Amino acid sequence: MNDPTTLRRLYGRRSGHKLRQGQSALLEQLLPALSVPEEGPLSAEILFGDSRPLHFEIGFGSGEHLAYRADLLPDHGFIGAEPFLNGVVGALVHIRDNHLGNVRLHMGDALNVLERLPDASLSFVYLLHPDPWPKARHSKRRMVNPGPLDLIAAKLKPGGEFRLGTDDPTYCRWSMMVMNGRADFEWLAESAADFLTRPGGWPETRYESKARRQGREVWYFRYRLA
Ligand SMILES: C[S@@+](CC[C@H](N)C(=O)[O-])C[C@H]1O[C@@H](n2cnc3c(N)ncnc32)[C@H](O)[C@@H]1O
């Protein structure tokens, strides 16, 4: 197994514009109530008090997909990880406004949480518009690489689903190459339309709508763990 720690240096922005007072209050009051514990093993029982199906979103951005899915499936548990402070605030706003009791957040590296979950415990893993790292010399920083993928494969249940979306042509080609080389994931596309059309139950994220506004194509991949 490749070492998932190859991604352990977090790249990218940790914070953007200054927070307004209400946003700081959300961070101080709501985030601690639904944060994933910083250490120790994790499970549905530990996070939600029962054995509900678990979903995990890597880099949820402003949380619109996470909140949509959590609202759609109130009996399931959703774990989201995102190091970008302003994104976490965005997710907290969705959680508060939609009264979502089935979401837990980690403000930091998704892999640090993933590795603490039991093997074969996740029903879905989402990776939507990951940072593309378009330069070849930065390709090891991409989330779609053997280390993180081995971890995702270990944590998904057999038959569990890994959803990947990107608007970056280099990342699209890269992902197809990396994923096609894996025997453990089955690509669920039956025709070209399947990866050009957003599947049902997959809402548009902020990065997706930005890409579309700028006239870029978006690709949707669904893989089932064997
Ligand atoms: C291009 S944005 C996409 C955000 C969102 N998924 C969307 O579609 O709008 C990529 C996000 O991944 C986050 N990210 C990068 N590395 C990460 C990591 N190791 N763990 C969790 N999130 C990460 C970044 O902070 C950033 O918000």
- Cα-only R_g, the chain: 17
The whole-number pLDDT of residue 1 equals 42
Q: Burial level of 6, CB count in 10 A (0-12/13-18/19+)?
A: middle
Q: Domain containing 179: what range?
A: 4-225
Q: What is the mean pLDDT of residues 62-82?
A: 98
Residues with CB under 6 A from ligand 1: 7, 10, 12, 58-61, 81-84, 87, 109-111, 128-131, 205-208
Q: Indicate which atom in ligand 1 lies nearest the CA of residue 127.
A: 6
C-alpha 50 – ligand 1 centre gap (Å): 28
Instruction: Check whether 4 has a pLDDT greater than 90.
Output: no
Given the residues 131, 150, 184, 194, the one annotated as active site:
131
Q: Indicate which atom in ligand 1 lies nearest the CA of residue 109.
A: 20
The pLDDT-based confidence of 192 (bands split at 50, 70, 90) is confident
| pTM given for the model | 0.94
C-alpha 85 – ligand 1 centre gap (Å): 11
The pLDDT-based confidence of 12 (bands split at 50, 70, 90) is low
Instruction: Check whether 166 has a pLDDT greater than 70.
Output: yes
The yes-or-no answer on residue 184 being catalytic is: no
Instruction: Check whether 13 has a pLDDT greater than 80.
Output: no
Q: Indicate which atom in ligand 1 lies nearest the CA of residue 64.
A: 9
Compute the distance between CA of residue 49 and CA of residue 16 in angstroms, rounded to an integer: 34
Q: How many domains does the chain have?
A: 1
Q: Nearest residue CA, atom 5 of ligand 1? A: 61
Instruction: Check whether 3 has a pLDDT greater than 50.
Output: no
Task: Kindly report the CATH number assigned to the domain that includes residue 129.
Answer: 3.40.50.150
